[in-house]
Amino acid sequence: MSDLALLGGPKTIDKPFTRYNSIGIEEMEAVQAVIKSGVLSGFLGSNSPAFYGGPKVQEFERQWSDYFDIEYSVSVNSNTSGLITALGAVGIEPGDEVIVSPWTMSASATSILVWNAIPVFADIERETFNLDPASIEKNITPYTKAIMVPDIFGQGANLDAIAKVANKNGLKVIEDCAQAPGALYKGKYCGTVADIGVFSLNCHKHIHTGEGGMCVTDNREYARRMRLIRNHAEAVVEGMGISDLSNMIGFNFRMTEIEAAIGIEQLKKLECFLKERIQVANRLTEGLNGLKGLTTPVVMANCTHVYYVYPLLIDESQTHISRELLVKALRAEGTPISDRYANLHLQPMFQKKIAYGNKGFPWSADFYNGDVSYDKGICPVAERLQEHEYLGIGLCVNQYRDEDTDMIIKAFNKVWNGLEDLWDLDL
């Protein structure tokens, strides 16, 4: 009789993993110093030196630029705010189309709607889960103005090929680097390759400040516009002599001094955190390679992967059971896996084309002349991954020690050794 937990045997992993926590004494002391100063935010929405934030915010921005070898860094209160800010800075207008991946967090697409522009979903590459440059090109229309490129799961997209498509068609590129801080793309940091890159600092990222984000660019004008959009632009444009009033809207996307103080200390530890994550991933790969029908992460040549998620691919024709049953068996063993990620184009907002109000705005607006489709089937690779092929282990959720990683490997091997015992259940 099988000893698989799904069939009544003992679980391989019978205790919870330790929650991931990158905060240490250095961050605690930095926060205490800010609290003692009494200056929890140094921003003012007026034409003054305080328009650019307090001393910790500005120090954090300088250190971020130094670390990532980029000219300008603009802190914000979330990655979502950063994406909105970046799109506004490059001049996205109502009715414009922005190509984006369906395989990403929803903010990559909804940030486009904030400017009354239209998300257009291109398909992804099966092995990297990142945007497919060929699919991007197929989805370009006369209304396309930009490409939103998530560096998904911890690895950069095919940024050279995407840049080639963008340059050919006069498009801006925004890199959503929420999941890949510190990853390298052909010698450059992910997030610094596109016109603007945006990083996340929220609670389950590689480094975090609770909530927060950072926008980076080498373009002085984009940096200026991002700082304006971040902090009530409409209140200061006259005093600053700004003549281009497009997208100068009064958002408050400002980072606090507390968050910046934490970020300064977290940034010092990023290299160490990445090394730990890569070691876990390499240990998993060594232990899972060779399991029939299972593909471990593919890392592109001359690039690095920092494993926000450790992604796997299942070939049901080789396991001879459905991905659904395989997931049940792995979870019964206590394995921390996910079998779902996104496919944003199939979410209700896009299926019904309802965002602002209940009449289909902005898709129904007079200023939109395109005819975007969100029908099932427009992103076949992404859809098949969701339905049959994807498994993921979130490496930013738990703090995995060597013995924890070995238990996960043991659970996978146990299930694979018992595959024949599951065949009858999958009929």
What CATH number corresponds to the domain at position 223?
A: 3.40.640.10
Tokens of 66: 């130094």
Percentage with pLDDT > 90 across the chain: 96
Confidence band of 233 (pLDDT split at 50, 70, 90): very high
Q: How far apart are CA 132 and CA 385, in angstroms?
A: 14
Q: How far apart are CA 53 and CA 74, in angstroms?
A: 10
67 within a domain of the structure (yes/no): yes
Mean pLDDT of the chain: 96
Is the pLDDT assigned to residue 323 strictly greater than 70? yes
Neighbours of 385 (CB within 10 A): 25
Is the pLDDT assigned to residue 2 strictly greater than 90? no
The closest alpha carbon to 168, from 154, 183, 147, 182, belongs to 147
What CATH number corresponds to the domain at position 392?
A: 3.90.1150.10
Domain identity same for 296 and 410: yes
Tokens of 403: 């013995």
Confidence (pLDDT) at 426: 66
Confidence band of 427 (pLDDT split at 50, 70, 90): low
Angle at 123 between CA 117 and CA 125, to 5 degrees: 135
361 within a domain of the structure (yes/no): no
Domain identity same for 325 and 290: yes
377 within a domain of the structure (yes/no): no
Domain identity same for 157 and 184: yes
Q: By mean pLDDT, which of 149-153, 324-328, 420-424 is the weakest?
A: 420-424
The closest alpha carbon to 205, from 154, 129, 271, 148, belongs to 154
Phi-psi map region of 129: left, alpha, beta (phi>0 left; psi -120 to 50 alpha): left
Domain identity same for 276 and 262: no
Q: Which stretches within 92-184 are classed as H helix?
A: 107-114, 133-138, 159-169
Q: Which stretches within 255-311 are classed as H helix?
A: 257-288
Instruction: Calculate the CA dihedral of residues 409, 157, 153, 351 and round it to 10 degrees.
Output: -120
Dmax over Cα atoms in the chain, in whole Å?
79
Confidence (pLDDT) at 64: 98
Q: How far apart are CA 342 and CA 357, in angstroms?
A: 24
User: Of 215, 241, 267, which residue sits at a domain end?
Assistant: 267
Domain identity same for 78 and 43: yes
357 within a domain of the structure (yes/no): no
Domain identity same for 129 and 14: no
351 within a domain of the structure (yes/no): no
State the amino acid at position 310 in one-letter form: Y
Instruction: Tell me the per-residue pLDDT of 376-407, one tens digit each, with 9 for 90 and over.
Output: 999 999 999 999 999 999 998 899 999 999 99
**168 CB burial (10 A radius; 0-12, 13-18, 19+):** exposed
The domain of 320 spans 5-19+269-340+383-426
Domain identity same for 138 and 240: yes
Q: How many domains does the chain have?
A: 2
Confidence band of 204 (pLDDT split at 50, 70, 90): confident
Domain identity same for 218 and 316: no
Is the pLDDT assigned to residue 65 strictly greater than 60? yes
Strand blocks (E) in 36-155: 72-76, 97-100, 118-121, 144-150
Instruction: Tell me the per-residue pLDDT of 102-120, one tens digit each, with 9 for 90 and over.
Output: 999 999 999 999 999 999 9
Confidence (pLDDT) at 44: 94
365 within a domain of the structure (yes/no): no
Is the pLDDT assigned to residue 425 strictly greater than 90? no
Instruction: Tell me the per-residue pLDDT of 144-188, one tens digit each, with 9 for 90 and over.
Output: 999 999 999 999 999 999 999 999 999 999 999 999 999 999 999
Confidence (pLDDT) at 250: 80
303 within a domain of the structure (yes/no): yes
Is the pLDDT assigned to residue 332 strictly greater than 80? yes
Give the pLDDT mean for 288-313: 97
